[in-house]
Chains A and B, each alone.
Chain A
């Protein structure tokens, strides 16, 4: 079972994603801020991370940088959950190697496609 970690400070949004991904057959873990997210990432060792940008304390971009520095999570694919179209944030996230962004009007169906696509490509990399 593929493992997905959700890092977002909004309880209802975390609930929505968690339940949806559960039903899609993933093992889901969640964290409500960046610090907790980093700890869970080390323990849970996810195959993919959904990460919110605006969070109190450590924000999404700083969390992403720290994830990239950690040996275990260095190459884990990250999908950014963003409510704001701040180009600066997007550029920063892209610098850290995340090319997937989920916006407010985004369909869950599309998210599902992306998750499958990213996990498949990771699988192919491992096989090589």
Chain B
């Protein structure tokens, strides 16, 4: 126990004095889904990452606009129980003129409890790009959602949603760990139409003695058709 505590303290200290980088900007996304049959759903998500500023101990800091990347993903899901869904899909990433391919598998569970809704997402993905070793990730995300007026989220009401995610990544023998924390304010136009705005905070590289922090202003529109 004492050893673990010491190691944790050293890790924190190392991350404070190690190489630090930060990056931020806008993350607009459109998430469209369509249900068919009694249990099937197809989901399409497109997301664009627009960098507005970057900096760190090893680079010049300041405002710097860059269209970092654009993702387009299609995921096919099948409800295997009332609140459990298995899904798999494919994502294409456009980055600096190159094409990156990602295969996605996920299992999600949605729970309700006294005015709260809780979503668990367990997912795995495999990413391939020309000239790079394949990247393999295992992720777990927990999402809590609560109405800001009343006990349930009704049309034309605001709500609070918080995502917390852990990402384990392996690439060419290296291991990386990333944490994401995203508090959102959402607005429900109706059950099939929601808009969410939040700060997507990502922390990584602390295992290597550094600290990469990214702050994206996330703006997502969920549409179900």
Partners in one complex: no
